[in-house]
Amino acid sequence: MNQRSSYLSVLFDIIAPRTCLLCSQFLSHPLATAFEKESLENYLCSSCRNQLEICERSFASGRSSRIDKFFSGYQYTGSIARIIPAWKYHRRNEFFPLIKILIYLTISRLNLLESDFNLVLAVPLSRKTLRKRDFNQALFIAACSSFALGLPLVAGQLVKNIHTPQQASLDRHARAYNLTGDTFGVIDPEVVRGRNVLLCDDVLTTGATLDTVAGTLRSAGAVSVTALTLARVEL
């Protein structure tokens, strides 16, 4: 880095200091480092980055599941268990670039670029939840995945017809009965008929939501449904 860039970095650190999104520890300004523009180092300190526990591999679903395979980026613990609620429920806009980076890293690490998906879909929210939250976190994850994979993102075709209690508020038993075959629907089945679908959501817990949506997609003619989530809860 030349002397001019060094002076600029010091100036930016004074007038516009950057801090870790989770613990507010001061971060070095990008001009002061060799970090890429979009990297975890620009959003999280080393301590918070070290608390990201990655999921190295996919895992197959059970016999009764309509999901062919599950992919998750991180264990729902440590830093990721603080990132997702702050972004999802409090809509802290500064977390959006961080989520994008985490999704890109997940896709690269799990070699999803070599997969044979045809299109990307997101688990939909009910109209009531969408009005309250003002955005669908699963759709943002799907959009990032679509861009990274170079695949079409289909939005608005998969809908949630019935408003149900949030899965996160229910225990394992209640989650299994909270959703029915009529909860979700596909507006135009031709969109998914004969396709290998990558279905995106934020957190995998019991898999009840993803399984129900996958059943809807298969009834509409999808050949396969693979799930991708940012995080996975260990039960």
- Tell me the pLDDT tens digit for each residue of 71-106: 999 999 999 999 999 999 988 899 999 999 999 999
> CA–CA distance from 205 to each of 50, 85, 151, 154 (Å)?
23, 15, 26, 24
Taking residues 208-234, report their average pLDDT: 96
Residue 208 clears pLDDT 60, i.e. is over it? yes
Candidate CATH numbers 3.40.50.2020, 3.40.50.620, 3.30.950.10, 3.40.47.10; the one for domain 51-232? 3.40.50.2020
Taking residues 25-43, report their average pLDDT: 70
What is the model's pLDDT at position 170? 52
Would you list the domain boundaries of the chain? 1-50, 51-232
Per-range mean pLDDT, top range of 124-128, 179-183, 193-197: 193-197
Percent of the chain with pLDDT over 70: 81
What is the model's pLDDT at position 27? 86
What is the model's pLDDT at position 166? 66
Summary mean pLDDT of the chain: 86
What is the model's pLDDT at position 164? 79
Residue 153 clears pLDDT 90, i.e. is over it? yes
1: pLDDT confidence band, cut at 50, 70 and 90? very low
What is the model's pLDDT at position 63? 56
213: pLDDT confidence band, cut at 50, 70 and 90? very high
Percent of the chain with pLDDT over 90: 66
